[in-house]
Structure 1
Amino acid sequence: MTFTLEGMHAETAASDALAPVLEADFYRFQQTLTDTEQRALGRIRAFLDAEVRPFADDHWEQARSPRHLVPRIAELGLYANAFERTRHFDNSALFRGWVAMEISRADPSTATFIGVHSGLAMTAIAVGGSEEQRAEWMPKLAAGELIAAFGLTEPGHGSDTAKGLETTAERRGDHWVLNGAKRWIGNGAFADLVVIWARDVADDQVKGFLVRTPTPGFSATTIARKQSLRAVENADILLEDVIVAENDRLQRIGGFRDVAVVLRLTRADVAWQALGVAVGAYECAVAYAAHRVQFGKPIASYQLVQQKLADALAAITASTALCVRVSQLQDEGEQTDQQAAMAKAFVTARMREVVALAREICGGNGIQLGGHEQLGADIPPGYSVARYFADAEAVYTFEGTYDMNSLIVGRAITGIAAFV
């Protein structure tokens, strides 16, 4: 069943105003959304401004995921966003991209928490699961009754998981036995369900398994002392003779090519997330420059600061154009691997430039959480350029490094694979 704004949210939608266009949206790309989508975006933005951004610094400093927000996130439909069976909105990939940007603009860790659960794990089930598996798991995950993780990366394998995956799956009658290890698994420290990717010892093909975390032989250890996306509780996962029923094998996954479909569908979302990091940092810099007084006037009045802001805004604008177009192509059923890869590579590179410029504008206060507070100005909490600066490094790396995504594009240009 599909819930729509015209149905479940009809009364609310009728009274909602369109979401204001952000100052960072210099070419007004938000106006490519429908009025219904812009109203929904406004409600989501209001939730983020009230319940996420003000507390993001504390969660980051304490390395604690905002699990208390799970019911509210589910109520807003942010887990169910992309899936016909469970979604709350009649929406487009373009709208979903804007939502990913807005969440990351408020807090990149919260965006990653949601993205792992719904973008990776739920997409894996939607793409690779049988009808029975989708019916069993998707409504529970969409409602936030269960939290999911996505177990692909291993201690010794990141970019080369297509050929190097060491976690094994051995079929024994009506069940499978999994052995191996996973690393950097977002939500892995507290997830109820983990999608584990393992290589079948019989045919050497990668297969997907739905592993309930209380299963004997499954253990997860929180990765400590991170300096990026600290409010995402990543885990090292150990699988020691973990028994999984054949019914919990993703029935429509036949090899890594099918895993790549999941990654392609989520890679463009990561580009949008990177855009949100850049926008969040840029907004910090603009607010800081307007209130920080040096030599008797706000630093926003100095040419060099304005040049940095102009360069940052240009990078954001170019990145927005790429994100918008790649999502439009997805809506048209025309998006390719190389188009998603170009968006992820380009936007994350520009994100790095923007957060560096923003931190530079904020000077010494740019290395402190809550660095605006010493200004005594009426700036909302959560404007901490240091957090965006640090979080950008993880976003730059996951879902394919810059180099790997560039090589996907290079293969499309030349017809020659240069990965090894």
Structure 2
Amino acid sequence: MAPSQNQGDLSAGSIKSHVGMPALDVSLAFPQATPASIFPPSASDYYQFDDLLSSEEQALRRKVREVMEKEIAPIMTAYWEKAEFPFHVIPKLASLKVAGGTIKGYGCPGLSLTGSAFAIAEVARVDASCSTFILVHSSLAMLTISLCGSEEQKQKYLPSLAELQTVACWGLTEPDYGSDASSLSTTATKVSGGWILDGQKRWIGNSTFADVLVIFARNTETNQINGFIVKKGAPGLRATKIENKIGLRIVQNGDILLKKVFIPEEDRLPGVNSFQDTKKVLAVSRVMVAWQPIGISMGVFDMCHRYLKERKQFGAPLAAFQLNQEKLVRMLGNIQAMVLVGWRLCKLYESGKMTPGHASLGKGWISLKARETVSLGRELLGGNGILADFLVAKAFCDLEPIFSYEGTYDINSLVTGREITGIASFKPAALGRRSRL
């Protein structure tokens, strides 16, 4: 029997009128545990790794922690749920003085890689999306201009980027080329006075609002990869938001379309003449990305540590149960090992000894252990483990894209495998033989 009009009227307006009162504030709905909007104190530095830092690095870490807990923690769940970026907090992030990281001069902070890494972990501890926003802007786009740009380009772009008065993105990945990024098909054709870019980029963080876009394209004459600085609003440039993500929802990842975009010669990056030149940037950014899972794991541990002492079942706090203590200790052990590997990576880089295999093993392995750590946290929080209000569900989802970007676990394993065996195994053997015929 067909439903009556009243029975079948399930329009959005009709449904909305029947859903009842707004949800209770989580503190009222679940008063037994404190939500992540009031961030838990840090409890994960069990082996006192803070002692490994200089006084300047310790001060930076404390400053970042204070700003993130005070300014970002109260708003992050609402913006994550809406998948919107909180533009009003950019001045607060600028006040951290971490944009530009290790770059010296041009208004950049000139931090040690170790100081930058611990700072980005403190950002990720509270909100992974904010750490990705900073890393894309700083460790990819700004670092590319610093390492591969002309003196004029550095002077023109870096000072405002360091103050976050302007925002940058970094465009390498394409719809058809992710792990196989060196095969990118966006083209750069030389014309009088500059270049014409044609192609498409995908998954580019910050791209929907970036003022400066660092774009990589294939030179149609040399077939090599070149780099370009593209300005917001350039004719033929279009950036649209990728919808329906389950992780890093605050990050505005976009599809970039380039249709006959003219780039003046002065905005070609002279230091990018092959794909190999991108590796100078990726070596640093891969180390920095390894510190995001470390920070996420720290935040999840801190949340679980407080929650287990507050939440009671069977007449006792959850922290009193042996199973829960074992999981909590396993999480803590993982974090100590992850921090030590991350710290050693920084020191290898600072001493000029870090290899691509070192960076890839660090990023891949740390991401893998973070997955285990965050999954344990999800178990410990029970039903509240699926609520973003208690951080762990949000962190669980945010870790997934980090597990994939800057080299998936598998690709990073193959980079290290190639280094320790001398044999590249990125292509199936049968395909590799066929390509040589």
Normalised by the length of structure 1, the TM-score is 0.90
Q: Provide the rounded CA distance (Å) in 2 between the counterparts of 1:176 and 1:86.
A: 27
Task: Give distance in 2, aligned partners of 1:223 and 1:258.
Answer: 28
User: 1:219-259 CA distances to partner (integer Å, 9 max, x unpaired)?
Assistant: 01111111100000110110000000111000111110001
Q: What residue identity is the alignment partner of 2:87?
A: R
Which letter maps to 1:344? K
Q: Given that residues 71 and 92 in structure 2 are in contact (C-alpha distance below 8 angstroms), is that contact kept between their aligned partners in structure 1?
A: no
Structure 1 counterpart of 2:142, from 111, 119, 122: 122
CA-to-partner distance for each residue in 1:385-414, whole Å, 9 max, x for gaps?
111010010111110000010001101110
C-alpha distance in 2, partners of 1:341/1:294? Answer: 43
Match of residue 388 from structure 1: 395
Contact 1:148 1:191 in 2 (8 A): yes
Quote the offset at 1:102 in angstroms.
0.3
**Residue type of the partner of 1:129?**
G
After the TM superposition, list the runs of 4 or more consecutive aligned residues in structure 1 that deviate by more than 3 angstroms: 86-91
Kindly state the Cα deviation for residue 62 of structure 1 after the two structures are TM-superposed: 1.1
Report the secondary structure of 2:214's partner residue.
strand
Larger of the two Rg values belongs to structure:
2
2:255 maps to a residue whose letter is D
Q: State the alpha-carbon separation in 2 of the partners of residues 39 and 180 from structure 1.
A: 44
For 2:256, the equivalent position in structure 1 comes to 237
Residue aligning to 2:434: none
User: What residue is the counterpart of 2:29 in the other structure?
Assistant: none
- SS of the residue aligned with 1:158? coil
CA distance in 2, matches of 1:81, 1:181: 29
**For residue 257 of structure 1, what is the aligned residue in structure 2?**
276
What is the match of residue 100 of structure 2? 80
Give the 3-state SS of the residue equivalent to 1:343 in structure 2.
Answer: helix
Match in the other structure for 2:48? 28
- Structure 2 length as normaliser, TM-score? 0.87
Partner amino acid, structure 2, of 1:396: F
What is aligned with 1:345? Answer: 364
Q: Which residue of 126, 132, 139 maps to 1:112?
A: 132
Counterpart check, 1:287 vs 2:306 = yes
1:335 equivalent in alignment to 2:349: no
The offset of 1:43, in angstroms, is 1.7
How do 1:135-284 and structure 2 match up within 5 A?
135-162=155-182, 164-284=183-303
SS across alignment from 1:224: coil
Q: Percent identical across equivalent pairs?
A: 40
2:71 maps to what in 1? 51
1:103 maps onto 2:103 in alignment: no
> CA 1:108/1:330 → structure 2, altered by over 3 Å: closer, same or farther?
same
Match of 2:87 in 1: 67
C-alpha RMSD of matched pairs (Å): 1.2
1:22 positional shift: 4.0
CA distance in 1, matches of 2:314, 2:106: 57
d(CA) in 2 for partners of 1:57, 1:24: 22
1:82 shift after superposition = 1.7
Report the CA distance shift for 1:122/1:216 in structure 2 as closer, same or farther (over 3 A). same
| Structure 1 residues 47-76: Cα deviation after superposition (integer angstroms, max 9, x where no partner) | 111001221111111111222122222232
Residue 124 of structure 1 deviates from its aligned partner by: 0.8
Quote the Cα distance in structure 1 between the aligned partners of 2:134 and 2:109.
17
Structure 2: stretches of 5+ with no match in the other structure: 1-40, 428-437
Kindly provide the amino acid, as one letter, of the partner of residue 33 in structure 1. Answer: L
Distance 1:253 1:337, change over 3 A: same
Which amino acid is 1:111 matched to?
A: S
What displacement does 1:88 show?
Answer: 6.0
The counterpart of 1:407, out of the listed 406, 414, 423, is: 414
Q: Distance in 2 between matches of 1:134 and 1:88?
A: 11
Partner residue, 1:307: 326
Structure 1 residue 416 corresponds to structure 2 residue 423: yes
Which one-letter code corresponds to 1:385 in the other structure? V
Structure 1: give runs of 5+ residues left out of the alignment.
Answer: 1-20, 372-383
Tell me, yes or no, if structure 1 residue 320 matches structure 2 residue 339: yes
**CA 1:146 to 1:344, structure 2 compared with 1: closer, same or farther past 3 Å?**
same
* 1:370 counterpart SS class: helix
C-alpha contact (below 8 Å) 1:127/1:262 kept by paired residues: yes
Q: Distance in 2 between matches of 1:257 and 1:68?
A: 38
Aligned to 2:382: 363
d(CA) in 2 for partners of 1:54 and 1:352?
Answer: 25
**Corresponding residue SS for 1:399:** coil
Say if 1:77 and 1:87, in contact at 8 Å, map to a contact too. Answer: no
CA distance in 2: counterparts of 1:362 and 1:118, whole angstroms? 34
Amino acid at match of 2:237: F
